[in-house]
Amino acid sequence: MARPLLDTLGITNGTTSIGDRMNTYIALFRGINVGGKNPLPMKELVDLLEDIGAQRIKTYIQSGNAVFQRAENNIAQLSKQLTAEIKKRHGFEPYVLILGLDVIEKAIAGNPFPEVESDPSSLHLGFLAFAPENPDLKKLESLKRESERFHLSDSVFYLHAPEGVGRSKLAASTEKLLGVPMTDRNWRTVCKIREMASE
């Protein structure tokens, strides 16, 4: 059975304590506001988060990145509550991965390709719901272009794709070959999320 990602990182619920009770969370949504499908305006997302008790909410670009604080230490329950509320109000259930600021910071610190940080759109971080138990690394290696590189940690799949990910066979097949849900963000977005969460 796959181990929860937060257990593999040795942290409790992936949260960063704010004062005595408040915790900082990052919610990464997948499959919203793409090609006119599953529309969820960021203003409505803010309203929704406020209604479930979130505070100090910030969003970044329409693909679905939210930073907020909430007096809650059960990430699984929070994710279910958020998904259910979106289903109730908008009629669809997006995949939502909720992380703590410490997970983002560890992902940034662990970047195996620091020399390409100056080209942030070419560097992608796939945040994993669980640590992969049987990733097909041989198949992943066979799919990559000559210019592409990747690195797998317990919590993140790093991909340097200087020719872009739109037509990358490796990018298209990563989640299936890892065997765990994954939510991808480029380096620029990850750094912006950390900046927002640290303010």
Q: What does R_g of the chain's alpha carbons equal in angstroms? A: 17
Instruction: Tell me which residue range forms the domain holding 27.
Output: 5-100
Indicate if 139 and 194 belong to the same structural domain: yes
pLDDT-wise least confident of 11-20, 50-59, 107-116: 11-20
For residues 13 and 45, state if they share a domain. yes
The answer on 137 and 95 residing in a single domain is no
Q: Among 80, 100, 120, where does a domain finish? A: 100
Sign of CA pseudo-dihedral 31, 36, 37, 39: positive
Q: What is the pTM of this model?
A: 0.86
If asked whether residues 79 and 129 sit together in one domain, one would say no
Helix (DSSP H) and strand (DSSP E) numbers for the chain: 7, 9
Domain co-membership, 77 together with 162:
no
Do 89 and 176 fall within a single domain? no
Report how many domains make up the chain. 2
Question: What digits encode the pLDDT tens for the residues 5-48?
Answer: 433 333 333 344 334 468 899 999 998 887 778 899 999 999 99
CA 135 to chain centre: 19
Residue that is last in its domain, among 85, 100, 115: 100
**CA–CA distance, 135 with 128 (Å, rounded to integer):** 12
> Bridge-partner residues for 175, per DSSP?
none
- With a cut of 60, say whether residue 142 has pLDDT above it: yes
Q: Are residues 94 and 112 in the same domain?
A: no
- Do 147 and 189 sit in the same domain of this protein? yes
On the 0-12 / 13-18 / 19+ scale of CB atoms within 10 A, 18 is: middle
Mark whether 113 and 148 lie in a shared domain.
yes
Q: Are residues 95 and 152 in the same domain?
A: no
Q: Single out the residue in 68, 100, 132 at which a domain terminates.
A: 100
Residue entry with tokens 């007096």? 71
When mean pLDDT is compared across 5-19, 122-136, 158-172, the lowest value belongs to 5-19
74 and 108 in a single domain? The answer is no
For residue 73, the domain's CATH number is 3.30.70.1280
Count CB-CB contacts under 10 A for residue 72.
19
Considering the domain architecture, whether residues 169 and 153 belong to the same structural domain is answered as yes
Q: Does the pLDDT value for residue 105 go beyond 60?
A: yes
Instruction: Give tens-digit pLDDT for 90-103.
Output: 999 999 999 999 99
The pLDDT assigned to 22 comes to 86
